[in-house]
Structure 1
Amino acid sequence: MKILIKQIFREFYILINRLSLVEKLIYSLFIIALIRAVYLTILNLSKKIIDYIVANSQMIFAICFGVLAIFIFGLGLYLYISRARHKQNILDEISIDDHTSEPRNIYIDGNYNENININGDQIEIHGDVININQDFSEVAKEIRDLINELKNQGYSEEDAQKEIATELAEEARKKPKVRKKLFMWKNSFSTNTVKTNDEIEVAREVVSSATDYSYTSSKDFTEVVSGHYQKLDELLQAKKWKEADLETAKIIYVISHNELPETSPYRTYRRNYFSSEYLKVLPRKDLNNINRLWLKYSNGRFGFSVQKRIWKRLGGGSDTTYNSEEIQEKFGDEVGWRKEGDWVYYSDIYYSLRSPSGHLPILFMLNSDKSERCDIDFEILEVIVGRI
């Protein structure tokens, strides 16, 4: 229903732009007359309501007082429960940190036909030393290389991942520093928001994230930085997420607008208005370049591909026919665009690395003004899912 109403307004906008000046004037007069009639109707109805309230003031006062009392009681109960949950969450986090505060050395003896040793901040695999405190992109690359090496020795992809995860989990149980690192990576990159203290489950998610984490290194971004994306690159590198979100929207608008056919009615849309048609003509190369920059500087936390992975896991696709409002709401809940059963205001968008995975970018998908609750154009997301 929501999509149908949106489409009607779009078609109406296109129709208005095609009218002559005289036709627009006639329509304006008609609309003014209609507004006046609605105004008079509302005015008369308001007078009747006021007269009724005056005649029945005592009864209405009693009802309002009762409703207010119930509301205050319900609000107090809600605040009490929310506070109790908040305290429990803090206790849960403390229980994890209590086990991960003391740095120690780690030694892992794997059964890979060779030994795997993790010493303190380093992982030594076949003579290759990996620093676990370096950027996750480098750690992920080393894990993928190890998986390929194990596959060459006869392991399947699944068995290689399982073998690495099992050894990491075993030592994480013994050594707090590795455990803390694994949980940090899990919280940063995993799309699974369910809290767990199971080391093997966390280790598997970390290895899985490393396998999927495949953006290129900074040396491959020469073309990106020297093209349309220099400012975006600088903003993301400086962790200015809000400014980068706006710059992403600007880049998409400028490139897509230039790609639209001369006869396209979307060329007449107001500046900075976004439609799924813009994303359909945005060159795939540009879409992937923007995505890689977000992945690179957020350590895989933000970007189109992260949003796609969450959307697909929840059952969403690239066809509006199959994407229910329930899927949209679940997606909004998971990426932090919804809270307590409702869409957040734009001012509540959390521009920080501590926000949920897939939280950004968002601005180019908004139908709403910045003073309103977020109204996401899921047609745009569906186009991205089909093209990224």
Structure 2
Amino acid sequence: MKIPIKQIFREFYLLNNRLSLVEKVIYGLVSIALVRAVYLTIINLSNKIIIYVLANYQMIFAIFFGILAILIFGLGFYLYISRIKHKANSLDESSIDDDINETHNIYTKGGNYTENLNGDQIEIYGDVININQDFSEIAKEICELITELKNQGHSEEDAKTEIATKLAEEAYKKPKVRKKLFMWKKSFSTNTKETNDETEVAKEVVTSATAYSHTSSKDFTEVVSGYYHKLDELLQARKWKEADLETAKIIYVISHKELPESSPYRTYLKNYFGSEYIKVLPRKDLNNIKKLWLKYSNGKFGFSVQKRIWKCLGGGSDTTYNSPEIQKKFGDEVGWRQEGDWVYYSDLLYWRTAPSGHLPICLMLKSGKSERCNIDFEILEVIVGRI
């Protein structure tokens, strides 16, 4: 219950009027004595605190800054763990290969990159189709379904409509399937009209799939389909950092299948990345990656740009002739070194204003993400010798 201040003063005034003069004097003296005692107590206590602080200020400052340091360290550690979890979660969302249905860590000695390689599947009339595989395989399966429906008495147009309807239903239920469907339409269809209708887009994809069996366009199979869908999307969106990591993943997955059975990278070094992967990487895949980086960076990034700079500085494709001086000059030229030292991973420039040849770099790193960049130049030398 809240008592008004005016009421308190009124009650005190009435009480004071009832007292005699002697009582008023006594109460006045007692009040003055009480106020003086409180005042002296506060002054004495303040003096003692000041004297104690002056005598022990070093210890007090040490305790204060110690507590402050612990709080700052705790906050920094919390932010660091949160960042690691965020990156791990973002990497887990990507899938590259259809044949490897498990989670891998790709280690480049000091650093490691987590990737999720699980594919997405749709079912059309009992046929399970992996949407992450090369479009040539998807086109083949769609054509086989059309043939099967025709054998059951459907006309070709009815068969295409049936499959397109089922494909649209899957796209409506699954966001990833819908995204893939619209990407195929954009990549392969000659119809440039924008639409958000799943059924209409599905019909165009089915039409493109049937036409695909009669074309030999390299761009149709090698550049924007299969392994390169995700990389194409990232580079087109100017997401250079994600594209850099995706490049390392693609090379790891493709090359791992090409390694000989006797290779140590298939046994006890299975998840470690080195120049051996570049040596067995099919030349067409290396060139496809090179073309995509050149295309979307307007000739600023990519392996061929790095090769030109490397050769201009006197570098070759043999470690015998590549001195530390050439490596340092190359690092200075592409922005991997600044002020006479290699930059930290966090200082890499993932934007268009970066120096020519600055990207890609992830597949050449053999250092952790909290360390200065340590480049595996043997990987660069193999790339230079193969493109």
TM-score, normalised to structure 1, is 0.43
TM-score by length of 2: 0.43
- Identify which of structures 1 and 2 has the higher relative contact order when contacts are C-alpha pairs closer than 8 Å and 6+ apart: 2
